[in-house]
Amino acid sequence: MRTRAAVALAAGQPLEVMEVNLEGPRAGEVLVEIKATGLCHTDEFTRSGDDPEGIFPAILGHEGAGVVIEVGEGVTSLEVGDHVIPLYTPECRECEYCLNPKTNLCQQIRSTQGAGLLPDGSTRFSMLDGTPIHHYMGCSTFANHTVVPEIALAKVRKDAPFDKICYIGCGVTTGIGAVINTAKVEIGSTAIVFGLGGIGLNVVQGLRLAGADQIVGVDLNDSKVEMAEHFGMTNFVNPSNVEGDLVAHLVELTGGGADYTFDATGNVQVMRTALEAAHKGWGESIIIGVAPAGAEISTRPFQLVTGRSWRGTAFGGASGRTDVPKIVDWYMDGKIEIDPMITHTMSLDDINKGFDLMHSGESIRGVVVY
C-alpha cells in the first residue's frame, strides 16, 4: 500500500512529507493506522543529527495511537479494529528481562529495533523509487500507517481519544512511571523536579498522585510556573534568581534535601545538582533526561558514601502492554490529566512547525492529528 509520512531524509534537515510504500505485516507483525502522534524531544534529538546512532532515511515518531488494520500470521493478542499504542519498549513476557521484575527493558527485538529494522531484519517502508526507509524506535508514528511487532503494541479501550492518549506512548508514562515504578515515592515525601517540560510536568502530576507533601519545580523558564502549579507543584525555583549555591538553596528549602529528585532536562550539570540536592542518608535521584552524545556525569563519591543513590529510568520503568492500558484508564477516570499539556495540534503537513514550537519553548506537547 501507499501512505503519507514525514520522512527524515538526512540529519539536520526538516522532515519531508511524502507518499511512501508500506508492505503489509509479516508473521508476528501488525499494520496500524496511526490517528495521532505526539512530538517528543527524542524525535528532535535524532532529526537534528545530535543522536550519534541516528539512521537515515527514517520515519521518526514514537508517541502514537491508532487502530489495527491487519494482523500478520501468528498474531493472537490483537485483532482488526483494536485500538493500540505502539511501544518503543516492547513487552514479550518471555525474555530474561521480561521475566525479571527489576527491569522493563525487554530485549526480545532490541538489536533489530536499534538498527531501524523489524525483527526479521528488513524494513516495510520504502520510497517510491524503492529506496528502503528505516523504522524508528520500532514505532515510526510520523506515518499515517505503520507496521509494528505484536509485542510492541498495547491494546487500549476504544472510547479514549487518540489525540490525547498518544501522549501516554512516551511522556505521560515516562514521567508518572518514574515516580511510581522507579522511585516508588511514598505518601508524605519531599521531591524536586528539574525541568518542567513535557516529561517533568508528568513527574509533578505523578508526585501528586503518589501523595508527596512538597513538590519543588526547578526551571530556567518562568512561563512554566502556571502549568506546573496546576499539576501540583508547591514551590518554584528559577536558578537564575538564586544568589549563591543552588544546591544549598534547595537543601534549605526542603529541610535537609529532598527524599526524591528527578532530572527531566538531559543536562549533566543539572543531574549533579539533582543528586546533591537529595537528602543525606536516604535521598534518591532519578535520571530521566537523555544527555548529549559523549556527555558524562560526575560528583564526589562521598555523596554516595553518605547515602544518596543515583538511578535512571527508561519509559518510566513501565511494562507497556500491561501498564499502558491502565494509564489510559486513569486518564479516562480523571485520575490524571493530559489535555492542558497538549498545547498545540497540527496536520502532518505542519509537523516542522511543531518542532519550531518545541524549540521556542512555546509548546509543552505538539500533537499531529492525521
Greatest pairwise CA separation for the chain in angstroms: 63
Phi first, then psi, for residue 267 (nearest 5°) are -95, 125
- Active site annotation includes 79: no
CB 115 within 8 A of CB 55: yes
Identify the active-site residue in 46, 89, 106, 276.
106
**Partner in contact with 92, chosen from Zn ion, ligand NAD, ligand DAO, none, beta carbon below 5 to 8 Å by kind:** Zn ion
Q: What is the CA radius of gyration of the chain?
A: 20
User: Three cell numbers at 45?
Assistant: 534529538
Residue 110 found at the interface with ligand DAO (CB under 6 A): yes
Identify the active-site residue in 41, 47, 135, 308.
41
Identify the active-site residue in 42, 141, 146, 273.
42
Measured from the CB of residue 331, what is the shortest distance to Zn ion in angstroms? Answer: 17
Residue 357 found at the interface with ligand NAD (CB under 6 A): no
Q: Which is nearer to ligand NAD, 76 or 240 (CB)?
A: 240
Identify the active-site residue in 37, 46, 63, 134.
63
Instruction: Write the CB contacts of 360 (distance below 8 Å, at least 6 apart in sequence).
Output: none
Query: How many CA atoms are closer than 13 Å to the CA of 20, on its beta-carbon side?
Result: 31
Task: Count the Cβ atoms, other than its own, within 10 Å of residue 354.
Answer: 25
Distance CA 318, CA 135 (A): 22
Q: Which of 92, 225, 237, 242 binds Zn ion (CB under 5 A)?
A: 92
3-class secondary-structure state, position 212 = coil
Residue 320 found at the interface with ligand NAD (CB under 6 A): no
**Partner in contact with 117, chosen from ligand DAO, ligand NAD, Zn ion, none, beta carbon below 5 to 8 Å by kind:** none
Residue 272 found at the interface with ligand NAD (CB under 6 A): no
- Active site annotation includes 47: no
Q: Which is nearer to ligand NAD, 33 or 44 (CB)?
A: 44
**Partner in contact with 141, chosen from ligand NAD, Zn ion, ligand DAO, none, beta carbon below 5 to 8 Å by kind:** none
* Strands lying side by side in the sheet with 309-312: 235-237, 214-218, 190-194, 260-263, 284-287, 309-312
- Cite the active site residues: 40-42, 62-63, 92, 95, 98, 106, 110, 170, 365
